[in-house]
Chains A and B, each alone.
Chain A
Amino acid sequence: MPEPVVVAVTAPLALALAASLLGGRRGRWPGLLAAAAVVAAVALLTRDVVAHGPVRHQVGGWGAPLGIDLFVDGLALLFLWLSAGVGAAATVYATAYFHDDEAAGAFWPAWLTLWGGLQAVFVTADLFNAYVGLELLGLAAVALVALGGGRAIGAATRYLLVSMLGSLLYLLGVALLYAAHGTLDLSRLAAAAGEDGLERAALAAMLAGLLFKTAIVPLHAWLPPAHADAPGPASAVLSALVVKATLYLALRLWTALPGLATAGWLVGALGAAAVLWGGLHALRAPRLKLLVAYSTVGQLGYVLLAFPLLPSSAAVAGAAYQALAHGVAKAALFLAASTVLRAAGGDRLDDLRGLGHRLPVTAVAFGLAGASIVGLPPSGGFVAKWLLLTAAVRAGAWWVVLVIALGGLLAAAYVLRVVGRSLAPAHAGAPPLKAPRRLEWTALALALASVALGLVAAWPLALLEGLAP
């Protein structure tokens, strides 16, 4: 049997090929198989890591620096679980979402390739391999956005151009690091790298590229239309997972290479701007999916707020847990919003009145996941923000505390915009809505998971604490 770390990457890729050959809606069978394989592989991988510590797999048997190594520790596992969980839910959701063969035939191979690329980024220890993984993931993501057709074509184009630009900046840094140290393996670079000008330039270019691809203010304008106009399950994985791949790499680079430690406040300031800007725009968004997409811009900002506080372990934990909690909650929100869009034929906020009676399961899912986004106890979002607050207070960074508080208020306000309308009585004569049960319950399951992440936080955090380098 191939090792679990290999299966976690290759199963979705192999099944993407199968889905492409089967074509049409039949692609859902390889999709479900991939979901089972990924979840099982990540579970086995977790067992290995808990038992023996971080896993290193030398692809081709060559070993770094000549070959490419895969490396999985607690931090990688956290992101792998995010990808496995949200990916499996999105897969189940998609089996009921696409009616027609044409959209489904394009969706399944692209989504499974995206999933494989995502896993490849989470497990790689090689900076150039990460670039290829990011490209695989990025092109697949663009293909998914373009599936929306019409307005989504412009969004997909913008997304692709930004993605190419970000990748090139990243590769620029990789080139400089390789020229100086002759290796692409992150742990070897960490051992070799100093803090001279070349390293700073390389890191700055890589981080700029990665943050660009993560839609950080002021380089965020591409995200809301791309995420909002993509088809339902694609929106969920784009917002919950795809932006996390670049964020994960940024976090890894920052903790491994010391070159930019003094510039953390700059990244933190961008994060603060994102929290406030994303929140304000979510307050004004006219459509539900657009609101949820703006919320992503703000929530990603929280992760950046941790950068000036690194490398304290509370800050690492806070950043990682925020990425995890946001991913699960945001996927639930997007799935719920897409169910509304599907059932009601539109998602203008003004038309959401009475949603609580007309689509109760979906409305509950939206409320629960929204609570996690706001950071209400006992949700996963609460734990993440609590960890970030702790790290900020310990470091005496009061401005971070202030931004987290303001961001929470903004999030509460925009979630209430939706929940308040849902609870209001429906317009007279508004027709009852119907949605396939699988759509409604998948969103609810994710929403429950986002709350549960607060209750069982000790376990993933132990994984992170015990294993962080």
Chain B
Amino acid sequence: MTLATWYALVGALLAALGLHGAVVRRHLLRKVLALNLAASGVFLLLVAPGARGPTTDPVPQAMVITGIVVAVSASALAIWLARRLHAETGRAALPDAEDDRA
């Protein structure tokens, strides 16, 4: 196995773990944690295959830096919304079904 394949595999596992956590966890901050893990996995999957050659492909590296900034922006917004929700309702999780509220 090569360095590229190994870290791509790690990325695949992290992505699956993170996506799972993002769905089953209830606490909003945990969901944010899980989504950040999943993002890290996806980022590894972007960059690691670029390490198959003698040097690492710079294009996915740039994409991942973009992705990291996008992820922190989205996380900051999510955390802020979670805090507002907590301040207003005292809860840190979303209710199950909101389908038929009046």
Contacts and interface: CB of A to CB of B under 8 A. Distances in A.
B98 A139 contact: no
Interface string A158-189: 10110111001101101110110000000000
A161 B77 contact: no
Interface string B17-57: 01100110000100100010011001001100110000000
B99 A164 contact: no
Interface of chain A: mostly helix, strand, loop or mixed: helix
A403 B101 CA distance: 28
5 contacts: A143-B77, A161-B31, A175-B45, A224-B99, A287-B102
Contacts of A138: 74
Given A139-B77, A142-B77, A168 B42 contact: yes
A187 B64 CA distance: 23
A164 B45 contact: no
B39 A160 contact: no
Contact of B35 (A154, A155, A165, A178): A165
A197 interface: no
A272 B89 CA distance: 37
Given A128-B63, A153-B81, A161-B35, A171 B42 contact: yes
Interface of B: 8, 15, 18-19, 22-23, 28, 31, 35, 38-39, 42, 45-46, 49-50, 59-60, 63, 66-67, 70, 73-74, 77-78, 81-82, 84-85, 88-89, 94-95, 97-102
Interface of chain B: mostly helix, strand, loop or mixed: helix
B99 A221 contact: yes
A322 to B, nearest CB: 25
Contact of A178 (B31, B39, B60, B94): B60
Interface of A: 128, 132, 135, 138-139, 142-143, 146, 150, 153-158, 160-161, 163-165, 168-169, 171-172, 174-176, 178-179, 221, 224-225, 281, 284-287, 290, 348
Given A132-B70, A161-B31, A164-B78, A154 B94 contact: yes
Contact of B102 (A139, A153, A348): A348
Given A154-B85, A165-B22, A281-B100, 15 more contacts: A139-B77, A143-B77, A157-B85, A158-B94, A160-B77, A161-B35, A165-B19, A165-B23, A168-B19, A169-B19, A171-B67, A174-B46, A175-B45, A178-B49, A221-B99
Nearest to A170: B42
Contact of A164 (B46, B74, B89): B74
B82 to A, nearest CB: 6
A135 B74 contact: yes
Given A142-B77, A165-B19, A157 B102 contact: no
B38 A168 contact: yes
Most chain B beta-carbon neighbours within 10 Å: one of A157, A163, A169? A157
Nearest to A176: B45
Contact of A135 (B70, B100, B101): B70
What 5 A-B pairs come out closest when comparing CB atoms? A179-B49, A175-B46, A175-B45, A157-B81, A286-B102
